[in-house]
Structure 1
Amino acid sequence: MKAVFFENGQLKIADRPEPSATAGQVVVKLKAASLNRRDLYTPKRLGDKASAVILGSDGAGIIEALGEGVKNFKIGDEVIINPSLRWYEQSVVPPADFDIVSLPDDGTFAEKIAISVEQIEPKPAYLTFEEAATLGIAPLTGYRALVTKAAIQAGETLFIPGASSGVATFIIQFAKNLGARVIVTSRSADKLAAAKELGADLAINTADDWSLRLQDEVIDTVIDSVGAATFNRSLAVLKKGGKLVTFGATTADVTSFNLRDFFYGQYTLYGTTLGCRVEFRACLAHITTHKMKPVIDRVYPIEQAQQAMERLRKNQQFGKIVITM
C-alpha cells in the first residue's frame, strides 16, 4: 500500500506492507487524512536511524476487516480515527499508557491502518471523507481547551492570538455556538477576513498594539498556542481574574513573566493537550448538532504529501490541510 513514512532520516512516499487486524482491531481503508503540526516534529523525535514509521494522526475511511472479538462495527462502516490512544475517561491528565496515533505505531498517511476498535467512531454522515478526516487532534484539542479548561460561558469574550490554525478555526466555531464573543489576530489580511467570515466578531493585526486596540474590551479568556511570542502580550490584555489556556508553542517553548503581576492579577493558567474519549464524543456531538463544517485550506493527493507538509511548515494555511488516498 502507498504510505508517507519517515525512515533513516528521510521522509518517503512509497509502498509499505498492508496491515492486518489482530484481536480487537479493525482495518480501515482510509479515504483521507489531515495534517497536524506534530507531523512536522515526529521525524525529529525519531532521529536519523529510526526504522520506518508512517506519519499522520487523523483520518477517515471505511472498515475493510474485523479482528476477533470486534463488536458494534461491521465491514463497510464509515468511521473516523480517534487519535488519543487509551485515554478513555475524563481526567485531569492522561493515563500513563497514553500515546497519540503515529508515534510509536504507524499512522494515517497510508491507504490502510490497523487500529483498536476502541479508537474509532462513526463518521458524521453529512460530512465528506475529506471533511471528516479533520475530526481528530484539532477539534479535540480545541474543545478541551475551550469547554473543559476555560469553561467558556455565553456572553464572555474569548481572545485567540493566531486565527489560522486548524485548532483555531474549530475554536472560533465552538465559541460562537456557545454564545461567546470572539476576537482573533493574524498578520495576514486574507486570514483576518476569513476569520471574520467564519464568525469572529473582531479580527486585528498581530503587529498592532493589542492593549490599545482592545482597551474597550473585557477579555475573559485567552487561548494561546503561539507560545513565547504572544504569552506576555496575551496576559497584558486579559482581565484581572481571567483565564489563559495554552496548548502549543509554535514560536518557542520557553518564556518568562512577572510573577508579582500574575498573582496580584489573580490569573489562572491552564495547560492542556488533546483530550479523552468522553471529550471526543462530546466534541463530535457538538459538531453534528450544529452541523459544523470543518475549514479545509487545501487538499492534496498522497503523492504530493511533501508539498502539503511544506505548506504547513510555512504557516500558509487557513484551517486544515488534507491528503487523499
Structure 2
Amino acid sequence: MRAIVLQDKEQSLQVQEVETPKPAAGEVLVRIKAAAFNHRDLWIQKGQYAGLRYPIILGSDGAGVVTEVGDGANEHWLDKEVIINPGLHWGDDPNFHSKQFKILGLPDNGTFAEYVVVPASALFNKPAYLSWEEAAAIPLAGLTAYRALFTRGKVKQGNKVLISGIGGGVALMAMKLALAAGAEVYVTSGSDDKIDRAVQLGAKLGINYKINGWHKLFQSAVEGFDVIIDSAAGDGFKNFVDLANLGGRIVFYGGTQGPITSLNPQKIFWKHLNIMGTTMGTPAEFEEMVKLFETHQIHPVIDKIFPMADAEVAIRKMDEASQFGKLVLQGF
C-alpha cells in the first residue's frame, strides 16, 4: 500500500510503498477515505514529542470503510463507513487514562496511508450527513474539546465561555460544540482576521491577545466567564484567573507557551476557582461527542483539503500557523 512515511525527525513526509498491515485478533483493517492533521504530527516531525520512533506513519484522525476483520472482531463492522477514535486503551477509570493509553499515529502507525489497523473498539459509525473529509476532521479535536467543555468544564446553556487561540482545530471545535449547547462564546487570537471569522461563525466577541492589557478589554465588555478553555498556558494564563467568575472553571489541554507562572493563590481560593488539565477522552465521551454532532448537524471547520501525496505541503502550512480550522488529506 501507499503511505506517508516520516523516516526521521526534521525529515519531510514522503509517499512510500509499504506492506499492507493485517488485523490481528480483535482488530480491523480500515481503508482510509480521508485523514486530518493535528499539531502532534508536526511536533513528532520536529522531534518534540515523547516516545519518538522512526520510521513512522503519522496521522491520528481518519475516516474510512472497514475491509477486513480479525478473529474476534465483530463481523458487523465489515463494509461499514466509520470514524476512528484515536485514543486507544483508555482504561476503566473515566477520570484519567490508564498507563497503557496511547494515541494512534505514534507509537503505532497512523491514518496517513491507504489502510490502517485499529482495535474494533475504536470504531464508530460515520455520521451520514458529513463528507469523508468532515468526518476525518472530527476525532482527536472533537474528543479533546468535548471533554474539556462538558466533562471538565461542565458547560451549560447560558454559560459565558472564553476560548483562547481561535483558529486551531480544537479551539474551533470547542466553539462549535459550546454554541450548540447554548453557551455564549468569546474568543482570543493573535490574528484579527481569525477573530472576525470566529464572530461570523457565532462568537459574541473576540480580542487580540497581542494587545497590551487585552484581558482588561474583556473585563470592560463582559461580566466574567463561567468556563475558560485554553491551549497555550504560559505567563498569560494568570489573566484567566482575573477573568473567571466565582466558581469558574479554567480548563487547559496544551502548553504551547510554556510553564504557567505568577498565579495569585488568593484570587484562586477566594473565587473558588477550579483549574484543570485534560487530555483526549473516554470511549463513552467519544460516543457522546458524535451524538452531539449528529443532533445539531454540526459541520467542523476545514481550512483546506489536500491530496494525500501533498502531506508535506499541508504540514508546512500548519507550521506557519496560518490555518483557520482543520487541514485534511484525501485518501489515496
Instruction: Please tell me the TM-score bracket, short chain as reference.
Output: over 0.9
Q: The residue matched to 1:299 in structure 2 has which SS? A: strand
2:281 equivalent to 1:275: yes
Structure 2 CA distance for partners of 1:286 and 1:50, relative to 1, 3 Å: closer
Q: What is the distance in 2 between the residues matched to 1:19 and 1:94?
A: 27
Q: What is the distance in 1 between the residues matched to 2:89 and 2:184?
A: 34
Structure 2 CA distance for partners of 1:315 and 1:4, relative to 1, 3 Å: same
Q: The residue matched to 1:274 in structure 2 has which SS? A: coil
Contact kept, 8 Å, 1:8 with 1:49, in 2: the verdict is: no
Q: What is the distance in 2 between the residues matched to 1:239 and 1:298?
A: 37
> Shift of residue 188 of structure 1?
1.8
Contact kept, 8 Å, 1:172 with 1:182, in 2: the verdict is: yes
> Shift of residue 126 of structure 1?
0.8
> Shift of residue 216 of structure 1?
3.9
- Residues 105-134 of structure 1, C-alpha deviation per residue, up to 9 Å, x if partnerless? 111111110111111111111111100001
Match of 1:137 in 2: 140
> Shift of residue 264 of structure 1?
2.7
Q: What is the distance in 2 between the residues matched to 1:188 and 1:182?
A: 17
> Shift of residue 267 of structure 1?
1.4
Q: The residue matched to 2:137 in structure 1 has which SS? A: coil
Match of 2:318 in 1: 312
**Structure 2: gaps spanning 5 or more residues:** none
Contact kept, 8 Å, 2:241 with 2:267, in 1: the verdict is: no
Structure 2 CA distance for partners of 1:251 and 1:17, relative to 1, 3 Å: same
Q: What is the distance in 2 between the residues matched to 1:136 and 1:294?
A: 11
Contact kept, 8 Å, 2:133 with 2:328, in 1: the verdict is: yes
> What is the letter of the counterpart of residue 305 of structure 1?
A
Q: What is the distance in 2 between the residues matched to 1:254 and 1:179?
A: 30
Q: What is the distance in 1 between the residues matched to 2:181 and 2:34?
A: 29
Q: The residue matched to 1:317 in structure 2 has which SS? A: coil
> Shift of residue 88 of structure 1?
5.8
Q: What is the distance in 1 between the residues matched to 2:186 and 2:140?
A: 22
Structure 2 CA distance for partners of 1:90 and 1:123, relative to 1, 3 Å: farther
Match of 1:183 in 2: 186
Q: Decide which of 59, 69, 78 is 1:56's aligned counterpart.
A: 59
> What is the letter of the counterpart of residue 243 of structure 2?
V
Residue identity (%):
36
Match of 1:2 in 2: 2
Q: What is the distance in 2 between the residues matched to 1:47 and 1:84?
A: 16
Contact kept, 8 Å, 1:161 with 1:230, in 2: the verdict is: no
Q: What is the distance in 1 between the residues matched to 2:287 and 2:126?
A: 11
CA RMSD in angstroms, aligned pairs only = 1.9
Q: What is the distance in 2 between the residues matched to 1:182 and 1:77?
A: 36
Q: The residue matched to 1:133 in structure 2 has which SS? A: helix
Structure 2 CA distance for partners of 1:74 and 1:155, relative to 1, 3 Å: closer
Q: Decide which of 161, 183, 196 is 1:193's aligned counterpart.
A: 196
Q: Decide which of 22, 25, 30 is 2:24's aligned counterpart.
A: 22
Q: What is the distance in 2 between the residues matched to 1:223 and 1:6?
A: 32
Contact kept, 8 Å, 2:33 with 2:330, in 1: the verdict is: yes
Q: What is the distance in 2 between the residues matched to 1:151 and 1:70?
A: 35
- Residues 3-52 of structure 1, C-alpha deviation per residue, up to 9 Å, x if partnerless? 22222433431222111111211111101111001111224157999442
- Residues 43-96 of structure 1, C-alpha deviation per residue, up to 9 Å, x if partnerless? 415799944211110100111111122215343211111001012656111112
Q: Decide which of 289, 294, 297 is 1:288's aligned counterpart.
A: 294
Match of 1:210 in 2: 215
Match of 1:33 in 2: 35
- Residues 181-200 of structure 1, C-alpha deviation per residue, up to 9 Å, x if partnerless? 11001222221121112211
Structure 2 CA distance for partners of 1:46 and 1:315, relative to 1, 3 Å: closer
> What is the letter of the counterpart of residue 215 of structure 1?
S
Contact kept, 8 Å, 2:51 with 2:107, in 1: the verdict is: no
> Shift of residue 297 of structure 1?
0.5
Structure 2 CA distance for partners of 1:229 and 1:311, relative to 1, 3 Å: farther
Structure 2 CA distance for partners of 1:72 and 1:253, relative to 1, 3 Å: farther
Q: The residue matched to 2:157 in structure 1 has which SS? A: coil
Contact kept, 8 Å, 2:26 with 2:73, in 1: the verdict is: yes
TM-score under structure 2 length normalisation: 0.92
- Residues 219-269 of structure 1, C-alpha deviation per residue, up to 9 Å, x if partnerless? 111111122153112222112331110111122245342223322332110
> What is the letter of the counterpart of residue 293 of structure 2?
I
**Structure 1: gaps spanning 5 or more residues:** none
Report the more deviating stretch, 295-304 or 229-238: 229-238
TM-score under structure 1 length normalisation: 0.94
Structure 2 CA distance for partners of 1:231 and 1:65, relative to 1, 3 Å: same
